Amino acid sequence: MADASAPRHGGDSRLAAFADPLAGWHNDDILLDKDARQALGNVQPQLLRVLDWPELRAMFKQHEGPANQHVRRGRQLGLMAGGCGVLALAVAAIALLVPPAATVAVGAIALALAAIAGVLVAARRLVSRSTELWLGSRYWTERARGLYFQVLINNLDQAVAAMTDNTALAGWKATRARALEALPPARDMADRVRALARDVADDEVWILPEWRDAPPPPTRGPDLDRLLERLRAQRFDVQIAYSRRKLGESMGAPRRRAEANAALARLALVVAAVAAGAAGLALLLGYGPETLATRAPVAVAIAAVGVVLGLRALNDALYPSAELVRFAGYNAAAVQARAQFDAGGLDAKIDALRAMEAHAYRDLRDFIASHARD
């Protein structure tokens, strides 16, 4: 993930063809990473006074770890189950080719692998509570991310004053502390996730009700301009770079991996069809079902079907098409909001920042709803 202070254009083209485009992602938009804070402090120490939020950082890290742990656990179980299922089909295919004396042993191995796959699938279902915890933690962290920007957008005059005045800085910190108390308690997250999954009409973007209406425009000045430019970088540029890299051209990007897996699955399906046709042709030519001429293509067909199922399961687990569509929509909305920010005056810039909060919340809502139904 490019740092928010990096150049706005051309970053993606520097990625190596097989690089992981999301390596180094440290939530730079909320200055979670020490290096990001140091980089900003070196060039804009006055901005760092109002943009660094240690209390929010500490709470964010507390929930970010469990969220990542829960998703890894579910994915690992799913991948292990899919892998065992594919191996079971491959071994079953081999059973058609081994001598009769070894058929029972090879078949037993295939049966054992299939049983393990079934147990892993059941285990993944049993840890649905883990998915609920993951979604709850993810919901909380994204609402905390939104709060970081919502406090700024709705208190720009106070934030600008705090850049140079210590008394104003104390007031700014008090405003943030009150806002932080408005975040829903972590213990309520599971109920909130279930409510979001049911209520697709939910559209409560703003964490504090008084923020639903835009405040009076702030006083224009050089400090405000610097703050707005930094908000452009942290709110628009970082999110656009993140979503573009999810959809990017590097072979490490999820979109390219999904496309590669889908292409391999189609190729394996063709192989399965050709092998099945070869088996049928062998029967038409008079070869019996027990002959190698018939059994070999059947084995290839079974193995190819296993590959198809495995690749499709991998895509569903790691690169679901709905996720890629969601990222494309979010990226387009963020790009449009940034263009509005760049093209307009002060009112248009604030409107664009407020629109970005709506886009981010709706993306979060769609993410929660889609995964809660899995």
In tens, the pLDDT along 335-352 reads: 999 999 999 899 999 999
Could you give the C-alpha distances from 293 to 226, 276, 290, in angstroms and in order?
75, 12, 9
Q: What is the pLDDT of residues 280-326, one digit of tens each?
A: 888 888 888 888 888 888 888 888 888 888 777 777 666 666 677 88
CB 310, CB 264: distance < 8 Å = no
- Distance, in Å, from the CA atom of 334 to the CA atom of 326, rounded to the nearest integer, reads 12
Report how far residue 152's alpha carbon sits from residue 180's, in angstroms, rounded to the nearest whole number. 13
Distance of CA 108 to the CA centre of its chain: 40
pLDDT at 166 over 70: yes
User: At 15, is the pLDDT very low, low, confident or very high (cuts 50, 70, 90)?
Assistant: very low
pLDDT exceeds 60 at position 206 = yes
240, 335 Cβ separation under 8 angstroms: yes
Residue 187 pLDDT class (50, 70, 90 cuts) = low
CA distance 347 to 353: 10
Six-digit token pair at 342? Answer: 């760049």
Rounded average pLDDT over 100-123: 82
pLDDT score, position 13: 30
Q: For residue 353, how many C-alpha atoms fall within 13 Å in the half-sphere facing its CB?
A: 29
Q: Would you place residue 10 in the very low, low, confident or very high pLDDT band (cuts 50, 70, 90)?
A: very low
Span 1-10, average pLDDT: 34
What's the DSSP call for residue 210?
G
Query: 212: how many CB neighbours lie within 10 A of its CB?
Result: 11
Residue 179 CA from chain centroid, whole number:
26
Asked if residue 363 lies in contact with residue 258, where contact means CB atoms within 8 angstroms, the answer is no
- Alpha carbons 51 and 79: distance in angstroms, whole number: 40
Helix pair angle (222-231, 128-153), 10° resolution:
160
The pair of three-digit structure tokens given for residue 329, joined into one six-digit string = 């929509």
Q: Which two tokens stand for residue 346?
A: 């002060």
pLDDT digits (tens, 9 = 90+) for 53-98: 999 999 888 887 776 777 677 777 777 877 888 888 888 888 888 8
pLDDT at 51: 96
- Residue of 102, 142, 114, 67 whose CA lies nearest to 363: 142
Higher pLDDT, 28 or 212: 212
| Residue that is written with structure tokens 């590959």 in the block | 307
| Tally of CA atoms within 13 A in the half-sphere of 337 that contains its CB | 25
Q: Provide the pLDDT for residue 8.
A: 35
pLDDT at 86: 81
User: Beta-carbon neighbour count of residue 305 at 10 Å?
Assistant: 20
Helix (H) or strand (E) holding 156: helix 156-162
Q: How far apart are CA 149 and CA 143, in angstroms?
A: 10
* 156 contacts 242 by C-beta, under 8 angstroms: no
Residue 31 three-state SS: coil
Residue 361 vs residues 150, 220, 259, 305: alpha-carbon distances, Å = 11, 28, 28, 40
Burial of 311 (0-12, 13-18, 19+ CB in 10 A): buried
Q: Kindly report the CA angle at 88 between 262 and 373, in degrees rounded to 5?
A: 55
Whether pLDDT at 18 is above 60: no
pTM: 0.73
User: Distance (Å, rounded) from C-alpha 234 to C-alpha 236?
Assistant: 6
Nearest residue to 315 (alpha-carbon basis) of 86, 118, 79: 79
Residue 54: what pLDDT? Answer: 95
H-helix segments, 199-291 = 222-231, 238-246, 254-284
Strands (E), 7-79: none
Coil/strand/helix, residue 99:
coil
